[in-house]
Amino acid sequence: MSTDKHQYQLYKNIVPLTREDHGHLYIERLDNFNYTRNINTVYVFCMEFMRVAKEYPIVFSVSSDEIYPVAMLGLQNGRNEFLDEKARWLGEYVPCYVRRYPFILMRNDDGGFYIGIDNDYAGLNKRGRGVPLFGTIDDGPMLTEVKDFCRKFQTHIDRTSQFCKRMQELDLLVPLRAPDSEIAGKVDFDGYAVVERQRIWDLDDDVLLDLMKSDTMELLYMHLFSIGLLHTFKERYL
């Protein structure tokens, strides 16, 4: 079994979700996001950009072969600034990746998909707290909803991957640099990149027209707009 590398974030012990292993279990949705406390970025997909860009800088992880967008949750590694002392989320919008946990859509070696779960999720229990994962015969209502959510999530991942590949083809990305010396002295931005505005305008007119007609240009500008939040982050979190 396999899954995209960026999808492993947050997960400790991913196993296939089966009636044989989990049919007797209940799941209780926790009232906190403590499982995100030690991350300062989280994967986001293009459909979320409009909501995400209002609160979080969107940058691109380039530390592996696969390039993908992430929302910054803080400037320092291992520290999510969007949690209060009780691990409640402080932002208005909670990224889909965070809301999907502890479930995940896994890819079989033959290209098919199935649902996985983090077996270490604190809300899994045998004591009847929450709702059953499985019904008497079919999936429980909650699991049916989860499967639908994960399938839609995968569709958006595929579209986001196409967007990132397009940026690579057009050579629009440059390394992320700190907007001022104060941030540069305290934060390591290695492994992240942003779109350079001038590289957009250096493209041929027919390419620019194609970007506009495909809504890619709108995504690029939402990303560029969000980068301005780095100054806000400095004032709040450094």
Integer Cα distance of 165 and 175 in angstroms: 16
Integer Cα distance of 143 and 102 in angstroms: 12
Is there a domain that residue 156 lies in?
yes
How high is the pLDDT of residue 79?
92
Is there a domain that residue 238 lies in?
no
For 65-93, write each residue's pLDDT tens digit: 889 999 999 998 889 999 999 999 999 99
Q: Is the peptide bond before 57 cis (omega within 30 degrees of 0)?
A: no
The total number of structural domains in the chain stands at 1
For 89-135, write each residue's pLDDT tens digit: 999 999 999 999 999 988 888 878 889 999 999 999 999 999 999 87
Question: Closest Cα partner for 173 from 158, 183, 163?
Answer: 163
Is there a domain that residue 139 lies in?
yes
Is there a domain that residue 41 lies in?
yes
Is there a domain that residue 122 lies in?
yes
Question: Closest Cα partner for 102 from 198, 209, 220, 22?
Answer: 22
Is there a domain that residue 179 lies in?
yes
Q: Which domain holds residue 126?
A: 5-231
Q: Three-class SS string for 8-52?
A: HCCCCCEEECCHHHHCCCEECCCCCCHHHCCCCEEECCHHHHHHH
Copy the structure tokens of residue 48. Answer: 């979320």
Is there a domain that residue 237 lies in?
no
Looking at the predicted structure, is the pLDDT value of residue 1 above 80? no
What pTM does this model have? Answer: 0.90
Is there a domain that residue 83 lies in?
yes
For 156-200, write each residue's pLDDT tens digit: 999 999 999 999 999 999 999 988 887 877 788 999 999 999 999
